Amino acid sequence: MAGIIAVDLHSGSPLLGSPVYFRVQAEARSGVAFQRAKIKSTVKMFLPGASEASDEQDYESSKPIIQDGDIYIDVSSALRSVADTYEYECRNAAGSLSYPILTLNIRVWDEYMEDGVYYSTEEDAIVVPTTFHFLLGAFTDLERIQSGLSRSVTTLTRKPDGEVIPLSSPLYIYPAAFSYSDSDWFAGAAPSNPQSISVVPTNALVVPGRSVFPANVDDEYITFQFVNGYGVLETICAVTFPDGKVTKDIKEYTISMPMQFNKINRNVARKTASRHSFAMSSGPVTEEWQAWWQEEFLNTQQCWVWMRGQWLPCSIIPATDTAGINRAAADLPEVKFTVKLNIEG
């Protein structure tokens, strides 16, 4: 019988920021004005420890059926629409922290018009029995190019090993290591909190699975808490430069006065409160760490900086270009950027 024959997951990963394609095997109906496959994505968000979904949305998309064969539909936009409702907050104390898990259920049917009459087979839709599970974050283009049709998640950090931590840093945040295969994520059973991260005080300087070293000059470093490309919090320390700046947005207006011989128009200057910015650097780094700073930290969408005994929201403004490694010289490269506080005054 013409219509939808079968539906299965074609390609994807447990990270919802990357494409997730379903393959719909369809058979074209003869003598119809149009025919298209309809796919309904039911997305739920489960906050850590919650048995009930905090958000649930249904999204429908469609693709035309022109001839017999396979149709590929990307449903990652539905996942991202629900994931975008999650609000990140900076971490203030040691302990563990985890992130939402999103679930996806799929049903597919076809609709068509024949002899001027519209038909839908939604009542007989094919329901995919598997519940798929997803985490916040995305793979990079290079990571996906180097993969097959799917890619498992075995870590939630792209940091190379070995980094400097000042003892004045309030916290060190790192995603805990874990290993899950694609079948674990797509088998219908929710993973047992693989999205957990650990928050430890830096005075111990003991981080399981990682090499960390105390800073030589502690007060030269500033600590950042940021959302990495996998969608979880991490910390990193940067070197400060003594050239902080304060900027003000100033707009002048001319106020017209009634025409008089001894009265003239006057100007008013409206000023915003101060916005502070600071030039910073990764410090001397290896080629591997330079790539991490450029492709991971500088691309963060949300960040906080530890200043004056508290976490302040900030924006990371990358330099227009970064010099690569000069292999003929003995010096190490660095990555420079500007930090602009997202508060006034």
Q: Could you list the pLDDT tens digit for every one of the 345 residues in the chain?
A: 578 889 988 988 888 999 999 999 988 888 889 899 999 999 999 887 777 888 889 999 999 988 888 999 999 999 999 999 999 988 887 777 778 889 999 999 999 999 889 999 989 999 998 888 888 889 988 888 888 888 878 788 899 988 888 877 788 888 766 555 555 555 555 554 444 556 665 555 677 777 888 777 666 788 899 999 998 888 998 887 656 666 656 777 777 767 777 777 777 777 666 777 888 888 888 888 988 998 899 999 999 998 888 899 999 988 776 666 666 666 677 888 889 888 876
Q: How far apart are CA 191 and CA 180, in angstroms?
A: 8
Q: Is residue 161 located within the same domain as residue 300?
A: yes
For tokens 């950027």, name the residue. Answer: 337
Report how many domains make up the chain: 2
Q: Is residue 137 located within the same domain as residue 156?
A: no
Q: Is residue 200 located within the same domain as residue 172?
A: yes
Q: Is residue 142 located within the same domain as residue 55?
A: yes
Domain boundary among 97, 122, 146: 146
Looking at residue 231, the DSSP 8-state letter turns out to be: S
Domain boundary among 107, 125, 146: 146
Contact between 296 and 167 under an 8 Å Cβ cutoff? The reply is no
Q: Is residue 15 located within the same domain as residue 84?
A: yes
Q: Label the pairing between strands 303-307 and 95-97.
A: unpaired
Length of the chain: 345
Joined together, the tokens standing for residue 328 give 């003929």
Q: Is residue 138 located within the same domain as residue 157?
A: no
Q: Is residue 132 located within the same domain as residue 160?
A: no
Q: Is residue 276 located within the same domain as residue 194?
A: yes
Q: Is residue 96 located within the same domain as residue 158?
A: no
Q: How far apart are CA 343 and CA 196, in angstroms?
A: 30
Residue 284: phi and psi, rounded to 5, are -60, 130
Q: Is residue 57 located within the same domain as residue 186?
A: no
Range of the domain at 105: 1-146
Amino acid, single-letter form, for residue 251: K
Q: Is residue 32 located within the same domain as residue 170?
A: no
Q: Is residue 186 located within the same domain as residue 324?
A: yes
